[in-house]
Amino acid sequence: MDVPRMRRSFRKAEQAGDDAPLWFYSHLFVTHPETRALFPVSMATQRDRLFAALGQVVALVDDLDTLVPVLQGLGRDHRKFGTVAAHYPAVGASLLATLAHFDDEWDDALAADWAAAYELVARVMVEAAEQASDAPPWWEADVLTCERRTLGVTVLQVRPRQELPFRAGQSISVETGLRPRLWRYYAPANAPRPDGVLELHVEAHDGGPVSTALAWQLAPGDVLRLGPALGRFTLPAASDRDLLLVGGGTGLAPLKALLDEVARTGPARRADLVLAGEPYDLPALLELAEKFPWLTLTPAVPDEDGELADVLESRGPWTSREVFVAGPGALVRAVAAALTGQGLPPERLHTETFSPSRPSSRAEGEVSS
């Protein structure tokens, strides 16, 4: 495959803005109207998510060791939409038609490369979905409590009716009957527990239909649907290095889950948790720091990327640590740059960017659906 040319071709479609996803979905729904039922009634946010996902696949198309596990996770996850193997050729045909429409240099060679790449993507996803056929496509979960911590942040306690396998730090997609067929990803703030309960930190965003419904309208007794766990923002199995955890906003959630895993299963290690922004979970964190002498908490750092980087620099060096950074994109980028600039090896830096729509693991290539 001529990967550089494929990437240039994709950029041309990206540069068309909303016209490209609009053209894609129009082509898909006209040529295969049966696929319309797989998508939400309002396509406003779905259009952006499609090209964000495709962009990440294109970025990894020549790195199969990273791409294949990501696609396998997506194949399992997409079962919740009712996606079946027969849908993949329709999507592929509309994708190639869209790329051809926006590329004035499109030719048979480029079409063949894109067809081969899409065939690989589809095959990996379909095989992963088939291998997961014994597991539920989604899990129903009962809402136990809804605690409004601030005007924008609500902490939910939910219990799946069947065991939902996940690892601390992974993300789980959530759908509420208040917003049918709109799924958004949240990272549980705890490691797996014997009672199966998950703690979800939800921040309401202006114009965010799912986050506002979960944060302001959900009540105990309501039922959610949860998708399978995704992501590799997890503690390395072969490492017992001390930890540096840096979070902003609800990026705290997966970091709190990692601490919970250390507390429950070890191995013993030191951990520093440094936070930026509104300390909505401060009482619980202070309780953890009092209970576990191996945990050092630095709360209430101003939510300024540069100031947070300065705090870390003044308290470093951190070059011997396994580092996890989660939060808004600007904060994650600033902290990552500061720590790698101090000499932290890139392979020990794990980042998770939390946007209004979902968390996505930029460093590890997790693709949104």
Contact 321, 244 (CB under 8 A): yes
pTM of the model: 0.79
167-209 pLDDT, tens per residue?
Answer: 999 999 999 999 888 889 999 999 999 999 999 999 998 878 8
**Nearest C-alpha neighbor of 94 from the set 7, 3, 33, 182:** 33
What's the average model confidence in pLDDT over 222-251? 92
The answer to whether residue 357 scores a pLDDT higher than 70 is: no
Interatomic CA distance for residues 347 and 196, integer angstroms: 32
Decide the pairing of beta strands 295-301 and 271-276. parallel
pLDDT tens digits, 297-309: 987 566 555 578 7
How does residue 361 score in pLDDT terms, banded at 50, 70 and 90?
A: very low
Mean pLDDT to the nearest integer, 332-348: 91
CATH topology of domain 139-226: Elongation Factor Tu (Ef-tu); domain 3 (2.40.30)
Q: Using the predicted structure, report yes or no on whether residue 285 has a pLDDT greater than 50.
A: yes
Q: How confident is the model at residue 242 (pLDDT cuts 50, 70, 90)?
A: very high
Q: Using CA atoms, how far apart are residues 58 and 67, in angstroms rounded to an integer? A: 10
> Given a cut of 90, is residue 41 above it in pLDDT?
no
Q: Do 3-131 and 243-360 agree at the fold level?
A: no
**Mean pLDDT computed over 157-174:** 96
For 220-239, b/e burial (b = at least 16 CB within 10 A) is eebebbbbbbbbbbbbeeee
Contact 278, 153 (CB under 8 A): yes
User: Which range among 131-145, 200-214, 250-264, 354-368 shows the weakest confidence by mean pLDDT?
Assistant: 354-368
Beta bridge partners of 175: 225
- List pLDDT tens digits, range 49-96: 666 777 778 878 778 888 888 888 888 888 887 777 888 898 899 999
Average pLDDT over residues 97-117: 93
What is the average per-residue pLDDT within 260-266?
A: 94
User: How does residue 42 score in pLDDT terms, banded at 50, 70 and 90?
Assistant: low
Q: pLDDT, tens digit, for every residue of 207-229?
A: 788 899 999 999 999 999 999 99
CATH superfamily of 3-131: Globins (1.10.490.10)
Sorted by where each begins, the domain ranges of the chain are 3-131, 139-226, 243-360
Interatomic CA distance for residues 125 and 89, integer angstroms: 12
Q: Residue range 274-280: average pLDDT?
A: 87
Provide the mean pLDDT of the chain: 86
Q: How far is CA 145 from the centre of its chain?
A: 24
pLDDT of residue 43 exceeding 70: no
- Residue 275 to residue 272: CA distance in whole angstroms: 10
Given a cut of 60, is residue 358 above it in pLDDT?
no
- Whether CATH 3.40.50.80 fits 243-360: yes
